[in-house]
Amino acid sequence: MTVTKENPQVRLRKFEGPLDLLFHLIEKNDIDIYDIPISEITDQYMDYLEKMSSLDMEVASEFLLMAATLVHIKSRMLLPDKRISEDQEEADPREELVVKLLEYRRCKMLAEDLRDRYRDYSQCMYRVPQSPASLGINPESAPAPVDEEQLSKSIDDVCRRNEIRFADIASKITHILKRDKFSIRDKIRLVWSKICNKGKVFFHEIFPVHQVDKMDRIVGFLAVLELLRGDQIIAEQEKPFDVIWIEQKHEKLDEERFGLDRNEETKELAAYD
């Protein structure tokens, strides 16, 4: 068939049967299989059959039989059954079709699962179980039964070696996690002295990133928070992660508030790097 603007080439999916075509239409239109709009599905089904016939494709009898079934169900949906009284509830004419579609969907899912299994395991090989004699193993030459006393002694040796090894590891971890003590009061004095000298200073000028240890910066930040809580300074930051500038609020530091005038043990921060 020559392809032109007036005569475009039409490609239709090859369906394995009428249920396959019907199931395709239901999935395509996102239809609830338990509530099929039979009129719409029938029209689309007939449209597909017409296109298949126009392409000189052999339309099997089962496709035509399904078309007749859909037309029959459509007529039953439009015309009530006069043989049923008002008290009786009319059976849904779509029920038999729904059951067939559910069975087809189940078989289709199983077929897809089998196809995936074949793709994944078709190249796998398995080994048939063999007897010890075929592997060259003589049952008469099997090792003697395990000596319970020797086994218990071996277990005790392994446990003793593990205790020594774990004790060594624990001592190393304790050394790594040794507490480093930092004085917040010393950092308060440092921050206050910097502010007094310059009047207004940035936090990163007091604790430069590449020159001061991370824990020093953390304790310095805690010292700034203490000064703010004590209403001794003003600190502002325009946006998150931006620079912080600090300015003194009073001419003299209230040393008594922070315990800077007492010779007592300093506040310490236990940190693990």
pLDDT digits (tens, 9 = 90+) for 206-249: 888 777 777 888 888 888 888 888 888 888 888 888 888 888 88
Helices assigned H by DSSP within the chain: 18-28, 38-54, 61-78, 95-121, 148-176, 184-198, 203-206, 214-229, 255-258
Residues above pLDDT 90, as percent of the chain: 2
Q: Residues near 233 by Cβ (< 8 Å), separated by ≥ 6?
A: 191, 195, 224, 227, 246, 247, 248, 249
pLDDT, the chain, mean: 76
Architecture of the CATH domain 180-271 = Orthogonal Bundle (1.10)
Residue 174 has pLDDT above 60, yes or no: no
pLDDT band at 114 (very low <50, low <70, confident <90, very high): very high
Helix, strand, or coil here: 173?
helix
Give the start-to-end residue ranges of the domains of the chain.
Answer: 18-80+92-121, 180-271
- Which residues on adjacent β-strands are paired with residue 200? 247
User: Which is more confident, 145 or 234?
Assistant: 234
Residue 24 has pLDDT above 50, yes or no: yes
* CA-wise closest residue to 184 among 257, 75, 128, 243: 257
Residue 7 has pLDDT above 60, yes or no: no
pTM exceeds 0.75, yes or no: no
Residue 132 has pLDDT above 50, yes or no: yes
At 139 the pLDDT is 65
Lowest mean pLDDT among 52-56, 70-74, 244-248: 52-56
